[in-house]
């Protein structure tokens, strides 16, 4: 999100996406003038080159602050980080490890975020980044994105088996609130992890089943062998960010899926 004037005009890239649509909705409700751009369909190349191009345009337009949406993918792919230590903003995904394991999405997100912060320092542009975990919640856009699909798979596919992997979740509306907070708070700087809830797939299935028993849930949950990863959003919370209860997120998400005909 590039800012053009405090409490005035803002430009939201990817305005039609899952996070972008909620961000636009909240900005408009707070009397901002919003200019939106549509995201390109590719994934890897725009993540790096696209970010650089946007930042160059921001310098030319004398933008005051840019808030870049990165991902927790730029944080947790780091085998040298002690497993007993909570991951915070000082932890970066190891790019050589990402290349070796062919985690191209992780690599692209890490390169794009690190370049954005470095660009800001080189060119005197105020750049702040945010790294959300798995973003879920009610949908505004008509298309199904990857994180929404993850929840829909649990509700409707009825697969034979699914891994009982740990998941770190955050409500899309809370991410949008965090973006506005990072834009408005003058003391915001550097990068911020945005996460709210840590939960295993089994707990997530049980929570959904208790309220919506008639959907086609996974028949079996196989054990996840890897150690869980701990992430902290303490830095973001110190700025005043709050997140809603998981029960509210799930209820509103399912209701929006029903309204959009996604569960039929």
Q: pLDDT, tens digit, for every residue of 174-193?
A: 999 999 999 999 999 999 99
pLDDT digits (tens, 9 = 90+) for 93-127: 999 999 999 999 999 999 999 999 999 999 999 99
Q: Flag whether the pTM goes above 0.75.
A: yes
pLDDT digits (tens, 9 = 90+) for 37-69: 865 545 445 567 778 888 999 999 999 999 999
Is residue 165 pLDDT above 70, yes or no? yes
**Distance between CA 70 and CA 133 in Å, rounded?**
10
**Does residue 235 have an active-site annotation?**
no
Q: What number of helices (H) and strands (E) belong to the chain?
A: 10, 11
Residues in the chain: 264
Query: What are the φ and ψ backbone dihedral angles of 206, each rounded to 5 degrees?
Result: -60, -40
> Can you tell me whether residue 57 is helix, strand or coil?
helix
Quickly tell me which residue has 């054990």 as its tokens.
Answer: 223
DSSP state, residue 48: I
- Contact call for residues 38 and 50 (beta carbons, < 8 A): no
Is residue 170 pLDDT above 50, yes or no? yes
pLDDT digits (tens, 9 = 90+) for 1-39: 654 444 689 999 889 899 999 999 999 999 999 998 865
9, 49, 62, 109: which is the annotated catalytic residue?
Answer: 109
**Distance between CA 165 and CA 62 in Å, rounded?**
45
Is residue 228 pLDDT above 90, yes or no? no
- Sequence-distant (6+) residues with CB within 8 A of 125 are 55, 58, 59, 63, 66, 119
Give the domain ranges of the chain. Answer: 2-259
**CATH class for domain 2-259?**
alpha beta
Give percent above pLDDT 90 in the chain.
80
- Contact call for residues 127 and 116 (beta carbons, < 8 A): yes
**Distance between CA 204 and CA 250 in Å, rounded?**
9
More confident residue, 226 or 39: 226
Query: What's the chain's average pLDDT?
Result: 92
**Distance between CA 17 and CA 140 in Å, rounded?**
9
């Amino acid at each position: 999100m590039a800012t053009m004037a405090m409490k005035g005009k803002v430009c939201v890239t990817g305005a039609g996406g899952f996070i972008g649509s909620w961000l636009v909705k909240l900005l408009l409700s707070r009397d901002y003038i919003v200019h939106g751009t549509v995201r390109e369909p590719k994934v890897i190349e725009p993540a790096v080159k696209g970010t650089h191009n946007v930042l160059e345009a921001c310098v030319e337009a004398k933008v005051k602050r840019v808030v870049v949406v990165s991902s927790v993918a730029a944080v947790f792919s780091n085998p040298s980080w002690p497993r007993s230590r909570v991951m915070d903003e000082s932890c970066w995904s190891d790019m050589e490890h990402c290349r070796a394991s062919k985690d191209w999405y992780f690599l692209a997100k890490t390169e794009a975020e690190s370049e954005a912060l470095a660009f800001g320092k080189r060119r005197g542009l105020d750049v702040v980044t945010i790294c959300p975990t798995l973003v879920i919640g009610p949908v505004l856009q008509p298309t199904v994105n990857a994180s929404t699909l993850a929840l829909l798979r649990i509700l409707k596919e009825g697969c034979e088996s699914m891994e009982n992997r740990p998941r770190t979740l955050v409500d899309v509306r809370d991410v949008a609130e965090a973006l506005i907070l990072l834009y408005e708070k003058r003391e915001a700087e550097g990068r911020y992890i945005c996460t709210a809830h840590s939960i295993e797939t089994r707990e997530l299935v049980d929570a959904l089943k208790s309220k919506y028993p008639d959907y086609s849930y996974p028949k079996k949950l196989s054990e996840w062998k890897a150690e869980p990863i701990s992430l902290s959003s303490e830095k973001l919370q110190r700025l005043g960010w709050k997140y809603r209860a998981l029960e509210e997120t799930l209820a509103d998400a399912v209701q929006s899926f029903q309204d959009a005909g996604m569960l039929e």
